[in-house]
Chains A and B, each alone.
Chain A
Amino acid sequence: MRTQAEINAAYEAGRYLFSSFNKNITATMSVGVSQDLSGLPGNPVAQYYLGAAGTSTGLYRSTDWGLNHGQNVDTKKYLHTVLLNTITAMTPITVRVLDYLMFYPFIGMDTGLQNLTNNLTLPRYEASEGVQMMLVEQNPYTGSAQVQIGYTNQDGVSGRLTPIIRLNTATAIGTIATSERRALGVTGDFVALQQGDYGVQSVETIEFITGDTGVCAVVLVKPIVTLQIFETTAPCLYDLWFEMGVLPEIRNDAYLNLVVKPSANLAGATTNTIFGEITTIWDA
């Protein structure tokens, strides 16, 4: 898309896809602690980071579902609009759309250094531009573990080390382990990188300096866009070009899903639903 006229032409030529989703937040959420919705029920179907322990495993629309953004294209595809809505009292709530690239599952949290296995390179964003690390709770931990991760950065420089990070105490599966509204040593939704780095190509090691029970996964994601639901029952519609000045590119076979951060505690229930719609468009 090079001009406003080309956006208009995409719709006129039928080069767009409208799809809907609804995810049920069955996990208990805590204020200021982010929750990965990819493993929760609803549409699209849940995925549970299944794969060989500590081994790089890819995520793809064609095999793992995720938000439906349409077929692969020979040109470029873009996310144009997003509509978000909820009838559950969890607003305002921040909603991040991410391209989940690959993950290293079932990492035990015992004290000590673990080497991870890389049988796969990044399936998309191979140059790792802006690819970030998330630490996702796969089986409940007690909390406050301290961890440091070794990785290869956007320039292919290996041996890079994150700072020592403290994990939160939230016990819901799917919790983003590094998010917390107020605690020493947490880093937010993404794992802080070594100074000068802005992308991750692969993860080689993870060391729990202070161990814990529980299991977690390291997930590499490409942030697509961050949005908000401001009020319960009031849908929020975003035209990303008009309101944010960019049409984020959606790569072929991208696995898209959501991470949310509530501003209120919420007991998990199947009736806690975030509804939404996305529209993608693509070049001729």
Chain B
Amino acid sequence: MAGFTSKDNEIDNMSAQGKVFQNLYTKQFNPTAAAVANEWHTLFRGGGYPQADAIFDTGTNLQFQSLCDQTTNAGCMQHGGNVGAAGDGFKVLTAGMAVTAAATVVPATLVLIDVLAWIRVTSVTTTTAQSVVLSNTFTASSSSGLLLTFANDWQSFTKVRFTTTGTLPTGLSLNTDYWLVRVSATTARVATSFANAIAGTVIAFTDAGSGTHTLTCRLPRSSDGSQVNAIIFNPQATALGAGTPGLSLGYTNSASVASRATPTTPSLPIGKTAATNSHILYTGATGAGKFGCFMPLQGGDAGIQSIQTIQNNATYTSGMYTVALVRKLASIPVQVLGQAVYMDFTSNMYPTYPKIEDGAAIYGILKSGVATPALSAIDIDLNFGWS
């Protein structure tokens, strides 16, 4: 349920003890429209194995939604289940391979990411900063355990912490992580670990406490925000409307410093007009406001712990976009038609030992160096090991 202490420890665990999981995934690039060269696109909505996601264009406008490999319709790459007893362990991505037989995809760069959470924005004609819903007040009652009732629909397995103006219900403590087990659109039970949440083992009801209680969502993994970045993309088949807005986030960084903001120099990231399905809006070859796959962070920041505001400073006339909080796992260059590139992330080649936390929702994003037709398939082999 952890990494390796030595090369011998690695071979002992992965080979002798069989603590290894390997699988082949096939994802289709661009489900709806061809991509322009040098744009980044997510592989979320493309078909293949795993199947296309059906979540990133769902949910209440501007609401934080937690994501893990158990989330219904997530369409993420499965990596063999949890390895920690409480769902708090991790594997290591030991090797990865990518290859495509579609000539018009290569050269390309595949980046594997763990998507931690997403926030859907449908109010794209609003040009002021819009607040993200990250917390709710709640009441407590008894229904097959402690039942919380609140306003928003939170995903199962959302990691939360509680605060109160009085006394929390018995079983809940301040400054402690809990996991929600969704019952309905406005109710959930509470588990003390991710594993308990999956198993349905929840906290019993003793009392409702006193005062006004609040739950606040946390990132399900990398909860302090270290190495966490944001991407903004079109999550649905319908293209965004016309518009080239500057895109910005107000966030708390991984050092828990609030009121951080996307830098405006040399330019805010600028969204592409009529961006198509899966396009990461501010990516492309040329022009002002073009960036790499991740939103730039304020100087000195090493990650995003939470997002407080999202702004497009000019309108998109229609459509929606989604902000996803992600942690990069690995990059795999895809260089030549049909030629696999095998990356060893252990000490033999690129000793980065990417950490795959229990519950990780693994996806790919891809930048093709050439114009790429819709539905082009790319094969991805991943090997995981743990101790």
Contact = CB atoms under 8 A, between A and B. Distances in A.
B21 A3 contact: no
A191 interface: yes
Given A92-B340, A243-B342, A262-B338, A193 B50 contact: yes
B346 A245 contact: yes
For this complex, into which size category does the number of interface residues on chain B fall? 35 or more
A263 B337 contact: yes
B47 interface: yes
A32 B99 CA distance: 10
Interface residues of A, number: 59
A14 interface: no
B379 interface: yes
Nearest to B347: A245
Interface in A149-205: 154, 163, 179-193, 195-198
Nearest to A239: B348
Contacts of A195: 50-51, 71-76
A283 B15 CA distance: 11
B101 A261 contact: yes
A95 to B, nearest CB: 9
A245 B95 contact: yes
A246 to B, nearest CB: 5
A93 B340 CA distance: 8
Contacts of B21: 129-130, 198
A195 B14 CA distance: 26
B383 to A, nearest CB: 6
Nearest to B102: A181
A188 B344 contact: no
B95 A196 contact: no
Top 8 nearest A-B pairs (CB, nearest first) are: A263-B338, A188-B26, A32-B101, A198-B78, A247-B15, A192-B49, A2-B12, A245-B346
6 contacts: A2-B11, A94-B338, A130-B23, A187-B51, A188-B379, A195-B72
Given A94-B379, A190-B24, A247-B11, 17 more contacts: A3-B12, A91-B338, A92-B340, A94-B340, A181-B101, A182-B373, A186-B28, A186-B47, A190-B23, A190-B49, A192-B48, A193-B50, A197-B78, A245-B383, A246-B14, A246-B385, A263-B101
